[in-house]
Each structure stands twice: as structure tokens, then as C-alpha cells.
Amino acid sequence: MNEVNPGLSQRDLSCIWHPYTQMKVAPLPLPIARGEGVYLYTEDGRKLLDGISSWWVNIHGHAHPKLNAALKAQAEKLEHVLFAGATHEPAVALAEQLLSLLPPGLSRIFYSDNGSTAVEVALKMAWQYWQNQGEDGRRGFITLHHAYHGDTVGAMSSSEQTSFTKAFEGLMFPVRRVHSPYCHRCPVGLKRSDCAIDCLSDLERTLAENAGSIAAVLVEPMLQGAGGMIVWPAEFLAGVRRLCDQFGTLMIADEIFTGFGRTGRMFACEHASVSPDLICLSKGLTGGYLPLAVTATTKRIYDAFLSDDRSKAFFHGHSYTANPLGCAVALASLDLFRTENTLERVRELEAHFRRRLESLRGKKAVGDVRGIGGVAAIELATDGGGYFDSIGPRLSEAFLKRGLLLRPLGSILYFMPPYAITTQEVDWAFDQIAEVLDEI
């Protein structure tokens, strides 16, 4: 790697624009040459433990032989075909399997190709559902503070307004935002030990004040990810379902991050035995291999689109809807859940993470520790510079030097490796975290 033969990072610098990156000041991107299991290997010979599952998508590890084989076999049969007026075996088989796993009542699968589009689909479906029923007044959405639902305009409008969305203020539509159960920074000033999920009353009040005008309530069940790895009491989730029923509105569960075992259950809604009216899935759907997404819904919603009037159809689709390669790998990933007892492994990780998190709680740098399933989060005791808190990049750099790839969300440090990680590797990663926390 020199001027005559520049490395990957240098070549990248002259032609690529990266996501969420101030290109003027960003460090050179890591030149990743290959992945295997929980490790990524750089072109310049470094071995990094992928502590964030490559943006929360990877489940069974990188380059898994069974997923590779499924991908290869499908590529040799059918790489892609349009999904309007055509169908294929992997899409049908995957829909059948997902419906057998999803919370009861969900009976139709609509495919798209990434998390944000799965949310757009859910918002548009909910909106048109009411119109098709002749209830034109239900056009509002309620979402939660600290929410993150994606970067397309509808998903962004539904997310918490932050420095990331500021530039697009006039472009977004208004939504009503209500308290999230962020216990460490309780929005109603209580302690979890003596509260009765009082924060839920904000949703109740908002629904009551806007009775008849809300199309849907959109939530990330049990774990709000990008907003700060906020772990919910299951009672809040149960309360959201109860209030949606009470006020006759739809509940959309964004399980793009939480789906496929991330919270220790296949789907986070299971923690409160809740069935949403719409559920959004992506990320772990293909085990972290390919962009694919699902919005699943109920017979009641699907039936409202059936009509002799063609304008009542759901006019939404993407070129790569239900891509066969993605569906085939998703099927192979679900197979691994069964043959490798993946959910059992996540529960073991949860218990192990808890022990290690508790040992960090007393440290000066630590404000709170929390976790669920395969996610361990440490909220640092800083004044809170938000996502742009300079502590984040400094921590990333310190971990990188130690061979651990982490990307804190500002002052929220989290560890979320592929479930395939071993106990020794977990201990090694927590040792690095403990040492770095002592250094800062």
C-alpha cells in the first residue's frame, strides 16, 4: 500500500460517500477484506470482533457455511424476478414459516427491501386501511420519544427529532409524540421500584384528546435501539396494546431491530403476549446477509383492501421486493434457529451479559447498565452531549486498538455481537470494556 498501489481505504476516499459520516473529518474507513464467525479481518491484517453485529443485522456469524450454501443454491436457480404478477418458492415458503412464528392474528406478508421501507409500508397501509373503510378522519400517528424508525421521510417523521433530522424539518409530516418508558431518565420523575407505569398515561391522554383521528400508534417493542438502547418494562408494551384497543386504533410494532431473537424471544411482542395489527421486520431476517424486509398484518386489514374498485389496492412496491436470494437465506437462517437452538443461546448470553454488566455498575464512568437478550448497554455518566458527544468516537478508537469493533450511540456504549459468540469471547470483550471504562 503506497502511492503506486493505494489500499482500499485510500481508494474509497476518492470515490465514496458514507452514511452518517462527516466526510471532511471522518477517519479512514476500515478496509474489511473478509468475515468469519464473529470476526472481521482487515486488508492490513487486523482481526476485529464484530461487537455490533454489523449494524445489528448479523445473527449466526459472518460467512456461515449453511447460509453460504443456501445463497449459492438459490443463485443457481433464480436470482430475481419481479413480484407483481409473479411469485416463487422461497417467497412463499418464507411467508408460510414466518406466519407460523409470528404472534397470533398476523396472517399476511408484504415484502419490501429494508427496515425503513417496511415502516413506510406499515404507515401507508394503516393510513389507507381507514380510508378504504370510509373513515377519512383517521390520519394521525402517535410515536414515542427516543424512537428511531428509519431514514426515509415517513420513518424519519415518526422518529424522535434530533440533530439527524433537523435539516429535513420542513420535509416531514407532524406526528404526536408521547413518553417512552425510559426508566433511567423517567419522564414523570419516578423510580421503577415504586411506579405503576405512570408514563403510559401520556399515551392515554393523547389518544383520548384525539379520539377518532389517530390511524395508528407506532412503537419499538421492549427495546428502543438508536434512541439509546432503552429497555422497557413489559407492562408498558401490554398497556400500548390495551390503549389501542380501547381507543379503536391500530398498533404497529417496529421489530426491525428486536425481531429474530435479539431480545431473547423470537419477537419482542412475546414478552407481553401482545399481537400488533402490523409488524415490521428486516435486519436479522436474512441472518445479516441481504437486504429484505417484511410488513405483516392481519386478515382484518388485508380484507379492507379487497374490492372490485381497483383504487382500493395497496399501490406500493419496490424493484427488489421479495428477492429470492434474500428469501432463501432467510429460510436457511430460520432453519439454524431450530437446529442450533439459537434462542436458547441468546438466553444464555443474556444471563452472562447481566453478570458482567452488574460488575461495571459501580464504576465512576458508568451512569446505568441495562440489557435484554443479546444486547448489553452502558449509559455513561456524562452530561449528555447526545449522539454527538465526543466520548463516542474516542471510545470507538480505544476499542478498535484492542481489536473490538463498537460504535457507541453518543454516551450509550453497547455490545451486541452475533449470537454465535463464545463465552470466552464475551468475557474477553467485557474485559476490554471494563479496562477502557477505567481509562476514560
User: By the criterion CB under 6 A, which residues form the site for ligand PLP?
Assistant: 114-116, 119, 148-150, 220, 225-226, 254, 256-257, 282
Nearer to ligand PLP, 40 or 155 (CB): 155
β-sheet with 39-42: strand ranges across: 32-36, 39-42, 47-50, 404-405
Nearer to ligand PLP, 225 or 374 (CB): 225
CB of 330 to ligand PLP, least distance (A): 14
Nearer to ligand PLP, 123 or 304 (CB): 123
Contacts 24+ apart (CB under 8 A), 81-85: 81/324, 82/319, 82/321, 83/111, 83/317, 83/321, 83/322, 84/317, 84/321
Among 262, 252, 282, 235, CA closest to 116 = 282
CB of 274 to ligand PLP, least distance (A): 16
- Measure CA of the first residue to CA of the last residue in the chain; give whole Å: 33
CB of 228 to ligand PLP, least distance (A): 12
CB of 117 to ligand PLP, least distance (A): 7
Nearer to ligand PLP, 230 or 365 (CB): 230
Nearer to ligand PLP, 226 or 365 (CB): 226
Nearer to ligand PLP, 159 or 432 (CB): 159
| % helix, strand, coil for the chain, step of 5 | 40, 15, 40
CB of 355 to ligand PLP, least distance (A): 26
Question: Nearest 5 degrees, angle CA 260-CA 264-CA 269?
Answer: 70
CB atoms within 10 A of CB 81: 13
CB atoms within 10 A of CB 334: 20
CA atoms of 282 and 98, how far apart (whole Å): 12
- Position with the least CB separation from ligand PLP: 115
CB of 381 to ligand PLP, least distance (A): 25
What is the pairing mode between strands 39-42 and 32-36? antiparallel
List the grid coordinates of 10: 485510500
Query: Which residues form the catalytic set?
Result: 20, 148, 254, 283
